[in-house]
Structure 1
Amino acid sequence: MHHDAEALTGLILEALRELGGRAIIQRGWAGLARHALPEGVLAVDFVPHSWLFPRAACVVHHGGAGTTAAAFRAGVPAVIVPHTLEQPLWAEFSRALGCTVSVIPFQQLSAASLVDGLRRMLASELHVFENSTLPSHASRWVEVAARGRVTVDFDAR
C-alpha cells in the first residue's frame, strides 16, 4: 500500500478534473482508488500491462523496469513518477530514448505537476514519434495518441 493512498488518489483525480480527461487507475500495490470515483474514471485491480497499456493514449507509472518495458512494448508514451531504487534510472532511460518528456520525481508530485507533465507529454506527439528508437513505440504512436485515454499505475513496491 502507498503511505497515503487516499491523498495520492485525490491528487490524481484533481489533475484529471483540470485536464478533463478519462482515466483507468490501476489500484495495484499502492492501494489507489478504493472509494467512489467520478464519471470517466475507472479503477481496476491487477490487469496485465500487455493488455491495458496499448489501449491508452498515455501511461503514468512509477518507472520500474517491468512497467517501463511494458510501456515500450505497447508503444505508448509515458509520464514517469519514479519513487525509489532503480526507477529514476529507467525514467531517464525513457527520456533518452524519446519515449517520455515528462519525469516527475515522486517528492515533487502534485496535481499541478501531473497536469503539466501530461500536457507536455501529449503535446509532444511528433517529438516522441520522430525521436523514438524503439520500432514498436514508433509504429503504435499515431494510433494510441488519438485515443484520449490515460492509464495511471503507481504500483510502487
Structure 2
Amino acid sequence: MSPEYAIEGIFSIKSDVFSFGVLLLEIVSGKKNTGFYQTTSLNLLGYAWDMWTSDQGLELKDPVLEVVASSNHMLIRYVNIGLLCVQESAEDRPTMSDVVLMLTNETAPLPSPKQPAFSHVRSSAANSNPPISNSSNRPDNCSVNNVTVSLLQAR
C-alpha cells in the first residue's frame, strides 16, 4: 500500500506503481514484503534498499532463479526499477507507462532511486511523545505516526 494512501487515504495513479514495485521486488527476491525480523530492516523494501546502497543488489536474487552471469545486469535493472517504484514521494515515482518502457528497453539509462517508503523503523527518540504543555489548559496533540491523534490527560 502506498504511503500516501496508508497515511492520508489519498489514492493516486502512483499508488499502483508503488504496488507494482513491491511485487517486482518480491518476485526477484522470492521473499514477502513482511517478515524481516532478523535484520535491521522493517521489510523487504528496507532490505532491498540496504543491499542497493551497499552495492550488493545481486544478493537479493532468489536462489531458485537460475540466472546466468550474463543476465546479472538485468537482475540489477529489475531491482533498480522496483526501488524507483517504491520511492516515498509519489512525485518521484515513474508512471506505469515509464515502467513498461524501462522493462522493455534494456539499454535505456535508469535514474538512481531515493529511499523507499516504510523502509526502516524510526528511532526510539523519534517515537517518544512530547510532554504536555503547562502553558495552557489544553494538552498537546500527540501522534507517533501522524495517523492517530491522542490527547494526553491525567485522570
What TM-score results when the alignment is normalised by the length of structure 2?
Answer: 0.30
Larger strand proportion of the pair: 1
TM-score using structure 1 length: 0.30
Q: Of the two structures, which has the highest relative contact order with CA contacts closer than 8 Å and spacing of 6 or more? A: 1
